[in-house]
């Protein structure tokens, strides 16, 4: 079931969600793309392993991002597509997009805020013909973005990622909605899908082309993806299940933490980004809840809205610790179904399993 996105063919209707810091970089994104899907590099502090990161974090991030996009494209061997996920809330949001576009990325996906100016940023790199897409959580958000892009840039999304309340990492829902979803009472994703499809229809008509919608957040398998494709989705985005693969860029410690997690180990946290997030209940989160987490001692100004004087912890430092497998000090983002993942596999095995389940679903 191939999907056409801005004139390019995506052989399989599978997106790998962007996971930062350092969880989905070139190895994972390249492997997913090589298998026919869209692999995604997270731009969030992606240069933290560079030798000069402490002295020049912004320069290290952009240099690393360009190299990661190029390596992922090489690994993909022209099979699928390589994307970046750029968080609107980061201070290097625009710089990261321009850097990735110059490096030849196939698509730019933006969340953690409304990417109102994404078409304008993309236009600053005219040699690129990359697809651009927002992550939305409602039809209202889809309508708002399409109206803004249409009015100011005469452009609409090339595809849309609809992320429901069961997703991992930062969520486009209130903490209460996320907690209700965790307790087993999420707003039906099928309902949200119809809402978004309806919101996009006037813009499809105006521009005379499709706007594929990929559902995300708690999609357990290919059989569930089939429910959504039968209802009008182009495909689905998966993230947490790709952490438990040999190709994932995370340290073995992160993978083992995920493999040993139980459903009751998953909690909703308040991120310094200003949004709720879903993560494992690690010792860091326990200290934050108890009020014993030490104050932030150094800030690299990675987030636009973060105040180190009031932030409960440094999210970049916590995510870097998780990427290195540091259970005591890491923030381990995950989806609501993380407790059901207990086997380490490969990206190809995951892709084959999803598509086999999709094809054989009743």
The answer on pLDDT for 346 being more than 80 is yes
Strands 3-5, 8-10: pairing kind:
antiparallel
Please state the pTM of the whole predicted model: 0.93
Residues 76, 183, single domain; the answer is yes
For 290-346, the DSSP string reads: HT-SPPP------BSS--TTT-SS-HHHHHHHHHTT-TTT---B--TTGGG----B-
Residue written as tokens 């992550």? Answer: 135
Percent of the chain residues topping a pLDDT of 70: 93
Residue 16 confidence (pLDDT): 98
What is the spatial distance between Cα 60 and Cα 300, in angstroms, rounded to a whole number? 12
Q: How many beta carbons lie within 10 A of that of residue 289, not counting itself?
A: 13
Residues 62, 125, single domain; the answer is yes
Residue 336 confidence (pLDDT): 85
Percent of the chain residues topping a pLDDT of 90: 72
Residue 301 confidence (pLDDT): 62
What is the spatial distance between Cα 361 and Cα 350, in angstroms, rounded to a whole number? 16
Give me the mean pLDDT over the 14-29 stretch.
95
Residues 44, 145, single domain; the answer is yes
Residues 226, 204, single domain; the answer is yes
Residue 5 confidence (pLDDT): 97
Question: pLDDT for 183-230, tens place per residue?
Answer: 666 668 899 999 999 999 999 999 999 999 999 998 989 999 999 999
Q: Which residues are CB-contacts of 142 (< 8 A; sequence separation ≥ 6)?
A: 134, 136, 160, 162, 196, 199, 200
Residues 140, 287, single domain; the answer is no
CA 236 to chain centre: 12
The answer on pLDDT for 135 being more than 90 is yes
- Domain range holding 257? 253-338
Residues 262, 229, single domain; the answer is no
Question: pLDDT for 245-300, tens place per residue?
Answer: 999 999 999 999 999 999 999 998 887 777 788 899 999 999 988 888 777 666 55
Residues 193, 231, single domain; the answer is yes
Residue 166 confidence (pLDDT): 85
CATH number reported for the structural domain that contains residue 231 in this entry: 3.20.20.70
Residues 166, 299, single domain; the answer is no
The answer on pLDDT for 31 being more than 90 is yes
Give me the mean pLDDT over the 349-356 stretch.
97
Where is pLDDT greater, at 17 or 218? Answer: 17
Give me the mean pLDDT over the 120-132 stretch.
97
Q: The tokens of 25 are what?
A: 């970089």
Where is pLDDT greater, at 294 or 328? Answer: 328
Residue 353 confidence (pLDDT): 97
Structural domain count of the chain = 2
Residue 337 confidence (pLDDT): 86
Q: If you average pLDDT over every residue of the chain, what do you get?
A: 91
Residues 353, 321, single domain; the answer is no
Residue 302 confidence (pLDDT): 59
What is the spatial distance between Cα 231 and Cα 350, in angstroms, rounded to a whole number? 23
Residues 126, 42, single domain; the answer is yes
Residues 192, 272, single domain; the answer is no
Residue 304 confidence (pLDDT): 55
- Residue closest to 196 by CA, chosen among 226, 221, 173, 164: 164
Residues 227, 301, single domain; the answer is no
Residue 309 confidence (pLDDT): 64
- Residue closest to 42 by CA, chosen among 104, 127, 105: 105
């Amino acid at each position: 079931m191939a999907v056409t996105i801005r004139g390019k063919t995506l052989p399989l209707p599978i997106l790998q969600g962007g996971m930062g810091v350092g969880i989905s970089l070139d190895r994972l994104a390249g492997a997913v793309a090589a298998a026919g899907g869209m692999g995604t590099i997270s731009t969030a502090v992606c240069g933290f392993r560079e030798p000069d990161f402490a002295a020049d974090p912004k320069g290290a991030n952009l240099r690393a991002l360009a190299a990661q996009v190029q390596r992922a494209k090489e690994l993909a061997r022209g099979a699928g597509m390589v994307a970046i996920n750029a968080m609107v809330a980061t201070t290097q949001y625009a710089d990261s997009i321009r850097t990735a576009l110059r490096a030849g990325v196939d698509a730019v996906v933006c969340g953690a805020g409304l990417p109102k100016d994404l078409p304008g940023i993309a236009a600053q790199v005219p040699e690129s013909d990359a697809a651009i897409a927002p992550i939305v959580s409602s039809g209202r958000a889809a309508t708002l973005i399409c109206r803004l892009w249409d009015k100011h840039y005469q452009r609409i999304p090339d595809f849309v990622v609809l992320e429901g309340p069961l997703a991992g990492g930062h969520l486009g829902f209130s903490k209460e909605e996320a907690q209700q979803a965790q307790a087993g009472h999420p707003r039906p994703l099928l309902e949200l899908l119809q809402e978004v499809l309806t919101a996009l229809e006037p813009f499809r008509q105006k521009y005379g082309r499709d706007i594929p919608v990929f559902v995300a957040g708690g999609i357990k398998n290919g059989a569930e993806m089939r429910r959504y494709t039968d209802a009008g989705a182009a495909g689905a985005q998966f993230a947490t299940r790709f952490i438990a693969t040999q190709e994932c860029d995370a340290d073995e410690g992160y993978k083992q933490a995920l493999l040993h997690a139980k459903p009751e180990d998953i909690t909703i946290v308040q991120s310094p980004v200003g949004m709720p997030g879903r993560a494992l209940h690690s010792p860091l989160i326990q200290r934050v809840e108890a009020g014993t987490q030490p104050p932030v001692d150094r800030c690299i100004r990675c987030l636009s809205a973060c105040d180190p004087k009031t932030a409960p912890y440094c999210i970049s430092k916590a995510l870097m610790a998780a990427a290195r497998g540091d259970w005591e000090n890491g923030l381990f983002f995950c989806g609501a179904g993380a407790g059901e993942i207990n086997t380490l596999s490969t990206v190809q095995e995951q892709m084959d399993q999803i598509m086999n389940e999709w094809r054989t679903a009743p």
